[in-house]
């Protein structure tokens, strides 16, 4: 197991809030505790597992770190016993969810670049890392994946953050400032979209 640094701790925070969103989705669908744990684990780890499988980093990180597996279990227990209170804290959960989105799109892009993918493909894989778990969550709970109608700017912030990271890498710019800046870009755009109700456009003539 790798030593847990600052990025590792932030990664676990992102995993936790994504797991909370998966567990809350299970509550809304009236699933039992097994369904809750499955949705929490899939939401938190699905994007990273897909990324690692694509780039051939096997076994995926989710299967080599105990914290990656235990964190969604903790989130599931929290929601199982106190989901009304967690629901009331939803604005705070969404805040950290936005932070997780920014972090995951950047770390996914970096990991893809480190494995030799082109900048374009690395960006795509960064977005998959950030939104893949949510797609799997929605599909398993019988809903149309929200990323297919990005009405609250979720995929777009991830795309911009991943693009900034890949472009900086292409310019041979590295370091914490570049990584943080790319993550903050996605994070702030997501927050602003929630605050001001920004939406992606629909095809012409299709009503909102």
- Furthest-apart CA pair in the chain: how many Å? 54
Q: What is the Cα–Cα distance from 184 to 204, expressed in whole angstroms?
A: 32
Q: Read off the pLDDT of residues 51-72 as tens digits, 9 standing for 90 and up.
A: 999 999 899 988 988 989 999 9
Q: What are phi and psi of 191, to 5 degrees?
A: -65, -45
Helix (H, G, I), strand (E, B) or coil at 9: helix
Verdict on whether the full-model pTM lies above 0.75: yes
Distance CA 185, CA 166 (A): 13
Using alpha carbons, list the distances in angstroms from residue 105 to 8, 198, 204, 208.
Answer: 14, 20, 30, 28
Higher per-residue pLDDT: 177 or 123? 123
Asked if residue 159 has pLDDT above 90, the reply is: yes
Q: Give the length of the chain.
A: 208
Rounded CA gap, 187 and 195, in Å? 12
- In three-state secondary structure terms, 89 is coil
Q: Report whether pLDDT(34) > 70.
A: yes
Helices (H), 141-205: 155-170, 176-196
């Amino acid at each position: 197991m790798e030593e847990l640094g600052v990025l590792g701790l932030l990664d676990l925070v992102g995993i936790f809030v994504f797991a909370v969103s998966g567990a809350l989705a299970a509550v809304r669908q009236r699933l039992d505790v097994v369904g809750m744990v499955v949705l929490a684990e899939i939401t938190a780890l699905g994007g990273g597992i897909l990324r690692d499988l694509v780039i051939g980093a096997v076994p995926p990180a989710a299967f080599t770190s105990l914290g990656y597996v235990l964190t969604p279990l903790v989130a599931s227990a929290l929601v199982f016993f106190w989901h009304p209170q967690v629901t009331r804290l939803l604005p705070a959960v969404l805040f950290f969810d936005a932070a997780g989105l920014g972090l995951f799109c950047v770390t996914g892009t970096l990991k893809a670049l480190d494995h030799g993918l082109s900048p374009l493909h690395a960006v795509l894989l960064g977005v998959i890392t950030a939104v893949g778990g949510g797609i799997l969550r929605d599909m398993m709970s019988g809903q149309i994946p929200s990323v297919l109608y990005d009405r609250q700017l979720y995929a777009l912030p991830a795309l911009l953050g991943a693009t900034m990271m890949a472009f900086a890498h292409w310019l041979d710019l590295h370091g914490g400032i570049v990584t943080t800046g790319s993550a903050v870009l996605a994070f702030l755009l997501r927050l602003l979209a929630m605050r001001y109700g920004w939406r992606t456009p629909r095809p012409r003539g299709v009503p909102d």
